[in-house]
Amino acid sequence: MNLFLLIYVNVEDKMVLTKDEKALHDQVNILPRRQLVTALATLSAALLLVTIDQNGISVTIPTIAKDLDAGATISWAGTSSLIANTCFQMLYGRLSDVFGRMVIFVSAALLLCVADLLCSLSQNAIMFYVSRAIAGIGGGGVQNLVNIIISDIVTLEQRGKIQGVVGGTVGLGNVIGPFIAAGIMQKSSWRAFFWLLTPLSFIAVLAYLFLPSKPPTIGFWEGISKIDWVGSLVSGAGIVLLLIPISGGKTKSSMKAVATNVDHHQGGSYFSWDSPLSISFLAVGGALFIAFIGWEWKMAKLPMMPIDIYKNSSLAIMLAQNCLLGAVYQSYLYYVPLYLQNPHQYSAIKSAAVYTPLVAAQMIASIGSGQYISRRLRYGEVIIFGFAIWTL
């Protein structure tokens, strides 16, 4: 997915910007080698912590479900985080354009720190899900800003190589995160995993000491007025209303199975697909999504998602592929540990080991593809090869 981000920033450099957009996109600051190494190490460390937070939790889910008596709704531990992450992705980009990368990056890291602390203190399922949603907002912001900052401080020719290395950091986090969580949980409890992440996440806040920053050129209230708040609210509401039934919907037969199995810990689905609630959520969510497109296209002065980017066929295809790949990949990372630990009764350590080859291969392929793109200045072969291997 880092490859798709690389393609986006490459295309973005060639896009024609409006007058308002040109006033905001002035934070390019190509760094000399020594400063660049320090900045990239800082960004990679922050991204590693976010990845451990997101993927380490997967092996702890069955235990958390039992401890909080949340077997039928435990999938919301992941769903709430992803929904919050999705709602704030576009907003983070525009906020960083207006107020500067550093302020928004540090704010996101601090939010993740607070969220991990709240997770460790959660006494019921609702508190835990809300805490994971906050973690999704903070972690998503760090992920988003890492890629944006890299596009600011690295030349176009270097981006393939650098994005590959950063992608390797994500792979490393995917490998060690589940093992760290499983090891801590076996020696202590699942709460100890979040206790460990809290101070580590706070270290990411110290990034302001090592990352370059250009102060905003406009005042606070003027900056607030430039944010597309209508687009943000409409898109956020639409995403929530669409994803709730998609994540929670279930067939009637499977609902009966859940109702007759009180020890069911694979859940997360608790109302029928054809229920009035599901249909209403999908209808209103779809209408809000259409309204969001119309607002961004015709009415927003400084759109959060410029519709013109979809006029570039390459970028439009890459975004669609990124969406499809993310749906499959994230589902795999989240549900495989549940499947292994519940029906097959694997230990947390063993379930983490089973899908280590996948994430380890991701780390190697990310670094290798970045090197290939930087040297050959071609990325089509990498995408085709990657999807072919994934399909097999």
* Rg of the chain on CA atoms, in Å: 21
Would residue 358 count as lying in a domain? Answer: yes
Distance in angstroms (rounded) separating the CA atoms of residues 60 and 58: 6
Q: Decide which of 237 and 16 is more confident.
A: 237
Would residue 343 count as lying in a domain? Answer: yes
Distance in angstroms (rounded) separating the CA atoms of residues 197 and 192: 9
The DSSP secondary structure of 268-299, one letter per residue, reads ---EETTSHHHHHHHHHHHHHHHHHHHIIIII
pLDDT band at 19 (very low <50, low <70, confident <90, very high): low
Highest mean pLDDT among 101-105, 200-204, 359-363: 101-105
Would residue 124 count as lying in a domain? Answer: yes
Half-sphere exposure for 387 (CA within 13 Å, toward CB): 14
Distance in angstroms (rounded) separating the CA atoms of residues 308 and 75: 36
Angle at 326 between CA 297 and CA 296, to 5 degrees: 10
Instruction: Dig out the tokens for 254 from the structure.
Output: 């499977």
Distance in angstroms (rounded) separating the CA atoms of residues 177 and 102: 26
Give me the CATH number covering residue 136. 1.20.1250.20
Residue 387: predicted pLDDT: 79
Considering the chain, what percentage of its residues have pLDDT values greater than 90? 21
The residue to which tokens 């435990």 are assigned = 74
Half-sphere exposure for 226 (CA within 13 Å, toward CB): 20
pTM: 0.82
Q: Which of helix, strand or coil describes residue 388?
A: helix
DSSP run (H or E) holding 391: helix 380-391
Average pLDDT for the chain: 81
Taking 50 as the threshold, does the pLDDT of residue 265 lie above it? Answer: no
How many distinct structural domains can be found in the chain?
1
- Domain of 202, in residue numbers: 2-228+301-391
13 contacts: CB under 8 Å, gap ≥ 6: 156
Residue 139: predicted pLDDT: 92
Q: How far apart are the first and last CA of the chain?
A: 18
How are the residues of the chain apportioned to helix, strand and coil, as percentages rounded to the nearest 5?
80, 0, 20
Would residue 280 count as lying in a domain? Answer: no
Would residue 379 count as lying in a domain? Answer: yes
Q: Decide which of 134 and 253 is more confident.
A: 134
Specify the DSSP class assigned to residue 250.
E
The tens digit of pLDDT for each residue in 36-51 reads 888 888 898 899 999 9
DSSP run (H or E) holding 249: strand 249-250
pLDDT band at 157 (very low <50, low <70, confident <90, very high): confident
CA distances from 331 to 55, 199, 202, 335 (A): 11, 28, 28, 6
Alpha-carbon torsion, ordered 320, 322, 328, 330, to 10 deg: -140
Taking 70 as the threshold, does the pLDDT of residue 143 lie above it? Answer: yes
Residue 270: predicted pLDDT: 58
Would residue 149 count as lying in a domain? Answer: yes
Half-sphere exposure for 244 (CA within 13 Å, toward CB): 18
282 contacts: CB under 8 Å, gap ≥ 6: 241, 242, 245
Considering the chain, what percentage of its residues have pLDDT values greater than 70? 87
Residue 264: predicted pLDDT: 41
Highest mean pLDDT among 5-19, 131-145, 315-329, 341-355: 131-145
pLDDT band at 93 (very low <50, low <70, confident <90, very high): confident
Distance in angstroms (rounded) separating the CA atoms of residues 232 and 100: 19
The residue to which tokens 């961004």 are assigned = 296
Taking 70 as the threshold, does the pLDDT of residue 202 lie above it? Answer: yes
Taking 60 as the threshold, does the pLDDT of residue 197 lie above it? Answer: yes
Would residue 289 count as lying in a domain? Answer: no
Residue 108: predicted pLDDT: 93
The residue to which tokens 């973005």 are assigned = 12
Would residue 58 count as lying in a domain? Answer: yes
348 contacts: CB under 8 Å, gap ≥ 6: 59, 60, 63, 178, 181, 182, 185, 186, 337, 341
Taking 70 as the threshold, does the pLDDT of residue 257 lie above it? Answer: no
Angle at 323 between CA 151 and CA 266, to 5 degrees: 120
Taking 90 as the threshold, does the pLDDT of residue 193 lie above it? Answer: yes
The tens digit of pLDDT for each residue in 295-326 reads 999 888 888 888 888 888 878 888 888 888 87
The tens digit of pLDDT for each residue in 218-242 reads 778 888 888 899 999 999 999 889 8
